[in-house]
Every structure is written in structure tokens, then in C-alpha cells.
Amino acid sequence: MMPPEQETTATTSTATSIQPGNIPAANWSENALVHAEPSGTSTRSLSIDVSTCFEDDQMPDQLQDQANAHRFSILHQSLRPITLKFEDVAYTIKLQTNKGSCLAPHEPKPTRTVLNGVSGVVRPGELLAMLGPSGSGKTTLLTALAGRLPSKISGVITYNGQPFSSSMKRKTGFVTQDDVLYPHLTVLETLTYVAMLRLPKQLSKQEKMEQAEIIIRDLGLSRCRNSIVGGTLLRGVSGGERKRVSIGQEMVVNPSLLLLDEPTSGLDSTTAQRIVATLRGLARGGRTVITTIHQPSSRLYRMFDKVVVLSDGCPIYSGHAGGVMEYFASIGYVPGFDFVNPADFLLDLANGIAPDVKQDEQVEFHGRLDHHGDHNSTKQSLIASYKKNLYPALKADIHRNLTDPVLSTSGILSSRGCENRWTTSWWEQFKVLLRRGLKERKHESYSGLKIFQVMSVSILSGLLWWKSDTSRIQDQVGLLFFFSIFWGFFPLFSAIFAFPLERPMLIKERSSGMYRLSSYYFARMAGDLPMELVLPTIFVTVTYWMGGLKPSLLTFVLTLLIILFNVLVSQGLGLALGAILMDVKQATTLSSVTMLVFLLAGGYYIQHIPSFMAWLKYISFSHYCYKLLVGVQYSANEVYACGVGRECRVMDFSAIQFLGLDHKWWDVAALTVMLVGYRVLAYLALRMGH
């Protein structure tokens, strides 16, 4: 079912017979029902829509109008018409080969051309669709147009005549083919956090939240607004709903340029129709919208203004959607029957299937589909026709700067375009990211399994060391060493997953200029504190008193503080390894080796390490932790029962003698250097990784 506001959106946008590209940008906004329009007409129609479809959240129309007018005027300021032009875009990748790398190291790697000479123009108010078979290069082209392709492309891509810039980044919305979302957040939370981070600071928190609500209504997500998004391992909203959440994340900021990779894949035709209608509505509001699409129905196809058809990375058509059939007829390709879906026809052609030879007929007569020669020659002829017939006119259109109405405005915009790089302040970003991180990660940090793991080990070790006293000093020292090792391993192995798993999200959000890396990083560090420190606190409390360590509150508190310090250092090492390697498998392997070295060099198992290996203990944080734990547990003059009626000095006990009980501040200093050093390393690795 299409909610009333969507139906109105669709009818409004289809009813207005706008010829995109021919109308000055200022007028488009009056004609469309877009959530972010400042004009009286559109704001008015929005409030009517909202009140008719929403039972909760009742607000008198006039009040809502006033509230919306303010928000929309600010949002509208961020809307700058963008003319996107791309000319002769080509992209080649180096293929990874396993064979021959040792035998012929200097042999150049084979390459593959993914895009070859693609050109086009999209103006504000237009919706361009990219069509083509799977693997034809649609996603690659879209990513290049969004300025997010990591390697260099050849050709020219301009945005109002300028190359891609960081201010352009913030005006661009990019919906990827795969949804990258936090699984534990609800739909409403997901969109609200995006609104908080991406909307300008002139808007109040309340207004940002309302903007998220509007998007939820526009995209027909009201029914699942409080359901968790979910992911591969966690059941949440449906795939189509998740896709709409991804689209909503980009729509929330009212981008001037919106790029979407297969927004309708996996959706029923009505929902797909609704989404494309919304996109067309957004385009009509003065935005430039580009989407890739698989198998659009003829109903959908009619909503596109322009199409680019790719075949193996080469264009076979680029221009107005309405002129497709005419163009192909002019070069001798006419569909076999009258009522053919233009999209099906185009895809057949892009696959090299000429209309007079039907695929099913081929199978029927030949029992197989191996007309590669035919297909290739059809493709080649289509590419040649494109170059001969369409390319010259397209090139002229691309270079038609002066007659382009938008460019004159954009010149002014770019000259005063030194807008603040960030839409929100560092502190605001930090707060929102911290709140979001706590919400998302509390499930993993306080998962039943993790609590069970820690509690069972703590109770088991408490029982094993039950009421040990100084007469069993060997055991007690063993318990202290166990503390330092367990709370070295555990946080390390949790932390190495942090950045590799968050990487796709970080790349996505940082590519849209959502926040500073430093605010993300500090929010992550701050968010980890309560999560990572609660479990060791419980563990130490249980085991310390069960294990019969020194019954002094001060010693207990110091022991706890040392272990928490150790946890933070070990976590820092895990974060650094994760950030440097960005690969969970490699990081886990390296961490196991490192911890094993620390375990052995810690000073408990081996006391007489050969001098050429003795330096190892100085890089082991477990060694410093163990030394400090022993240092606060025993004093130099303390004695213990070392036999029947005999007392020995603690300092004479070989393990303690080896460690020494002095220079505690050096140990604290060494741990502090590691605490800061590992974190700085992790930050630098993240920064350089971008």
C-alpha cells in the first residue's frame, strides 16, 4: 500500500508536466512536493499530507507550517543546483593474479577496462538512470561520479564546472548497493543520529528529529520506525525497508546531488514505483538525481528523464529517456513487437542480443546460448553507432557552459563557497557519536555470553585460589600473574575487531563528510570506558576476596586500578593492531603471538632469561602490571610462614626477588607511555588508512 503522502507525491510529480533542463532552477521547487522545500506551496502541501496520514503526532496545520517554514528555509539554503558533467570517463583495474608472481616478478600485471569513454550531462531537476547488464560498470561509474573511487580515473567529471571538492562531498548523497547500517539501532534512531550529525547547527535538536520523522513518513517506514534495522546475523526490518532506511539517511540532509545504486532491487513493483516517484519528486525540487537500476518496469522507465546504457563498460546510449526507441530505430534496431518495455529492449541490446533474434528462440533451435560472436559484433556495432551519432552532440552539450542557466549562479556560489567544512561542532559530533556507540555496542559488551565467560572464570579462579594466604605465597603470586595475563588477553582480543568491523561504516560516513575522524575516535575511546571497565571490576572484586589476597581496602583498590590500567593498555594495543592491519584474521594471529611473548617474558615462568632476550620484558605491559600487583600486595619488610614455625622475608622469595618491589613509578610511567602510544598509533593508522 502506498501511504497517502506518497500517492500525492507521485501524482504531483507526474501531473506537473515539467520539462527538466528548460526551466530555471528557482521554479522547480514550486512544482514539486518535496520535504525540503521552502515555498509556501510545497510546505503547505506537506503539512496537509502529514496530517492526513498520521494519527499520532497531531499538530495544528498552521503551527506545523510555521515550524516547517523555518527548518525548510535553512535546509533550502543548503540546496545548490548542481550540473554534473562527465566526459570520456575511463577506468582500468589491475587484476590480481596468484600465478607467476615469484617466477616473473617484473611482468606487468594484466589490466581490465571497466569503463571506457562514458559521457553524459545531468542537470538539476533531472533524474538519470544507468542501465546495463550485471558487471557492465554501473556501480563503478556511479562511485566515480560520487567522487569515491579510490584509484584514479581518466576523463573529466565536473560539478558546476568545478572538480570534486570537500564542500561538494557534503552536498552529495550516495546510497550504496550494499546497505551499511548499525544492526542494533532502530529505524528512527538510525535516521535521527544521521540528522543530528549531518544537518546544519542552525537547526535545533527538535527540528532535526522532526526532519528524521518526515523522512520516515516520506519513505513509508512509519510501521517499522521502532524496529531494529538488523543485519546478516540479526533479524530486523525487511530487506526493502533496510534499503529505504539507507535512502533516508541520504535524503535527510536534502542533498543537491543524490546518487543511488540499485535502490529498487529486491522490492515489489509498487514499492519500487514509490521510491522512483520520490526520487523524481526530489529531482523536480532542484536536485540532480542519478540512479542505477536493474530491470525497471515500463512504468518506472517513463519516470526517467535521461538514461545511460552501458555494455561491458562502454556506452551504447546516453541522452533523453524518451528518445531511446527513436534513436535505435534510426540505426536499424526495432523491437519485434509493439508494446515492448524500453528497458528490456535496452538490456537486450546491451547484452548484444539484436531484437530480431530472441533468446528463447536461440535455445529452442540450438539448445545452447553460445552466439558470442554475434553478440560481440552487435555490441561493437552499437558502440560504433553511439560514437558516430550520439557522442558529437553530447560533447557539444557538455561544453555548452554559457547557455547553462545554472552555471551563472554556481559561479557566485563557488566564489563564496568557503562554507564551514563541518555542519556540526566537534563537541556535538562527539556527543552524538558517543550516544550512538553506547546504544549500538551495549549489546555486544554486555552480551550474556561475555558476562558468563568472565563470571565463570572469576568464580572458578576464586574457588581454585580459595582463601589462599601468605603461607602459600607461590600460589598468591600465581594469582596476581593470572590477573595480569587474563586482563591482557581478554581486552586485546575484543579490541582487535573494533576498527576492521567498523571500517565500512567509517568509510561510508567519512566519505559523506559526516564527522571528523578525531571526534569519532574520541567518542569510541570514551564509549569503551564504561563498557570495558565494568567486567574487570566485577571480576577482580569477586576473585580478590575469594582468593584471600591482602584484606586491606587500599590494597584492593590499588590492585583494581592497576588491572583497569592494564585493560586500557591492552585494549590500546588491540585497537592499534586492528587499525594497522584492518584484517581480523591477521590481527588475531599477530595478537596471539604478541601475547604469548608477553606471557613468557612476563617474569613468572622464566626468571633467568638470557641477557640477549631480557629486553623482551620491557616491552611487555603484562610484566609491568604483574610487577605493580606484586608491589602493592607485599611490602619489602613483610614476612610469611615458610615452614613450620619459620618465617621468611617476602623479599627473599625468589619470584619477588627477581621482580623487585621498588621503582613502581617507573612501571606506571611505562604503562602510561604504552596507554597513550598505542592509541596515537591507532589514530594515525586510521587517518592514513583514509
Residues near ligand ATP, by CB under 6 A: 93, 114, 132, 134-140, 177
Query: Which range binds Mg ion by CB under 5 A, 125-133, 136-144, 221-229, 598-606?
Result: 136-144
Q: Least distance from C-beta 230 to Mg ion, angstroms?
A: 23
Q: Least distance from C-beta 311 to ligand ATP, angstroms?
A: 10
C-alpha cell at 611: 641477557
Q: Least distance from C-beta 137 to Mg ion, angstroms?
A: 8
Q: What are phi and psi of 291, to 5 degrees?
A: -140, 145
Q: What are phi and psi of 11, to 5 degrees?
A: -65, -40
Q: By C-beta, is 51 or 177 nearer to ligand ATP?
A: 177
* In contact, 499 and 582? CB cutoff 8 Å: yes
Which of 387, 359, 548 lies closest to 470, judged by CA? 548
Which of 8, 83, 116, 139 forms a contact with Mg ion (CB under 5 A)?
139
In 3-state terms, the chain is what percent helix, strand and coil (to 5)?
A: 60, 10, 30
Which residues lie closer than 8 Å to 545 by C-beta, 6 or more apart? 462, 551, 556
Partner from ligand ATP, Mg ion, none contacting 140, C-beta within 5 to 8 A by type: ligand ATP
Q: By C-beta, is 150 or 373 nearer to ligand ATP?
A: 150
* In contact, 581 and 501? CB cutoff 8 Å: no
Alpha carbons 466 and 59: distance in angstroms, whole number: 65
Q: Least distance from C-beta 246 to ligand ATP, angstroms?
A: 15
Q: Least distance from C-beta 177 to ligand ATP, angstroms?
A: 6
Using CB atoms within 10 A of its CB, is residue 183 exposed (0-12), middle (13-18) or buried (19+)? middle
Q: Least distance from C-beta 135 to ligand ATP, angstroms?
A: 4
Q: Least distance from C-beta 306 to ligand ATP, angstroms?
A: 18
DSSP 8-state class, residue 496: T
Q: Least distance from C-beta 259 to ligand ATP, angstroms?
A: 13
C-alpha cell at 349: 541490446
Rg over CA atoms, the chain: 32
Pairing of strands 288-292, 84-94: unpaired
Partner from Mg ion, ligand ATP, none contacting 137, C-beta within 5 to 8 A by type: ligand ATP
Output the CA torsion sign for 355, 360, 365, 366.
positive
Q: Least distance from C-beta 130 to ligand ATP, angstroms?
A: 8
Alpha carbons 263 and 561: distance in angstroms, whole number: 51
Partner from ligand ATP, Mg ion, none contacting 217, C-beta within 5 to 8 A by type: none
C-alpha cell at 250: 541520504
Give the chain's end-to-end CA distance (angstroms, integer): 43
C-alpha cell at 458: 572469576
Partner from ligand ATP, Mg ion, none contacting 172, C-beta within 5 to 8 A by type: none
Q: By C-beta, is 177 or 238 nearer to Mg ion?
A: 177
Alpha carbons 33 and 98: distance in angstroms, whole number: 54
Partner from Mg ion, ligand ATP, none contacting 436, C-beta within 5 to 8 A by type: none
Query: Which range binds Mg ion by CB under 5 A, 169-177, 336-344, 542-550, 587-595?
Result: 169-177
| x-or-dash string of contact with Mg ion, 173-192, rule CB under 5 A | ----x---------------
Strands (E), 95-235: 111-122, 127-131, 154-159, 172-175
Q: By C-beta, is 116 or 458 nearer to Mg ion?
A: 116
In three-state form (DSSP H/G/I as H, E/B as E, the rest C), the secondary structure along 69-127 is HHHHHHHHHCCCCCCEEEEEEEEEEECCCCCCCCCCCCCCCCEEEEEEEEEEEECCCCE
Size of the site for Mg ion (CB under 5 A): 2
Q: By C-beta, is 134 or 403 nearer to ligand ATP?
A: 134
Q: By C-beta, is 109 or 366 nearer to ligand ATP?
A: 109
Q: Least distance from C-beta 291 to Mg ion, angstroms?
A: 11
Pairing of strands 84-94, 111-122: antiparallel
Q: Least distance from C-beta 294 to Mg ion, angstroms?
A: 9
C-alpha cell at 574: 588491540
Q: What angle do CA 258, 114, 144 make, to 5 degrees?
A: 25
Q: Least distance from C-beta 129 to ligand ATP, angstroms?
A: 13
Q: Least distance from C-beta 293 to Mg ion, angstroms?
A: 10
Which of 472, 465, 491, 496 lies closest to 585, judged by CA? 496
Q: Which residue has the cell 607461590?
A: 474
Q: Least distance from C-beta 90 to ligand ATP, angstroms?
A: 13
Q: By C-beta, is 312 or 440 nearer to ligand ATP?
A: 312
Q: By C-beta, is 17 or 151 nearer to ligand ATP?
A: 151
C-alpha cell at 500: 576492521
Alpha carbons 288 and 283: distance in angstroms, whole number: 6
Alpha carbons 248 and 275: distance in angstroms, whole number: 11
* In contact, 115 and 140? CB cutoff 8 Å: yes
Q: By C-beta, is 79 or 114 nearer to ligand ATP?
A: 114
Measured in whole angstroms, how far is the alpha carbon of residue 563 from the centre of its chain? 34
| x-or-dash string of contact with Mg ion, 466-505, rule CB under 5 A | ----------------------------------------
Which of 512, 459, 646 lies closest to 148, judged by CA? 512
Partner from ligand ATP, Mg ion, none contacting 236, C-beta within 5 to 8 A by type: none
What residues are paired with 92 via a beta bridge? 113
Three-state SS at 114: strand
Query: Which range binds Mg ion by CB under 5 A, 170-178, 181-189, 423-431, 550-558?
Result: 170-178
Query: Which range binds Mg ion by CB under 5 A, 107-115, 131-139, 214-222, 248-256?
Result: 131-139
Q: Least distance from C-beta 139 to Mg ion, angstroms?
A: 3
Cβ count near 550 (within 10 Å): 19
What residues are paired with 162 via a beta bridge? 159
Q: By C-beta, is 141 or 579 nearer to ligand ATP?
A: 141
Q: By C-beta, is 131 or 650 nearer to Mg ion?
A: 131
Q: By C-beta, is 46 or 353 nearer to ligand ATP?
A: 353
Q: Least distance from C-beta 146 to ligand ATP, angstroms?
A: 13
Alpha carbons 231 and 127: distance in angstroms, whole number: 30
Q: By C-beta, is 114 or 625 nearer to ligand ATP?
A: 114
| x-or-dash string of contact with Mg ion, 329-368, rule CB under 5 A | ----------------------------------------
Compute the CA torsion angle 237, 243, 248, 251 (nearest 10 deg).
180
Q: By C-beta, is 91 or 634 nearer to ligand ATP?
A: 91
Q: By C-beta, is 16 or 177 nearer to Mg ion?
A: 177
Q: By C-beta, is 41 or 177 nearer to Mg ion?
A: 177
- 437, HSE (Cβ side, Cα atoms, 13 Å): 24
Partner from Mg ion, ligand ATP, none contacting 572, C-beta within 5 to 8 A by type: none
Alpha carbons 76 and 654: distance in angstroms, whole number: 75
The residue sitting closest to ligand ATP, measured at its beta carbon, is 139
| x-or-dash string of contact with Mg ion, 420-459, rule CB under 5 A | ----------------------------------------
Query: Which range binds Mg ion by CB under 5 A, 138-146, 156-164, 182-190, 465-473?
Result: 138-146
Query: Which range binds Mg ion by CB under 5 A, 69-77, 107-115, 133-141, 567-575?
Result: 133-141
Does the footprint of Mg ion cover residue 264 (CB under 5 A)? no
Residues that bind Mg ion (CB under 5 A): 139, 177
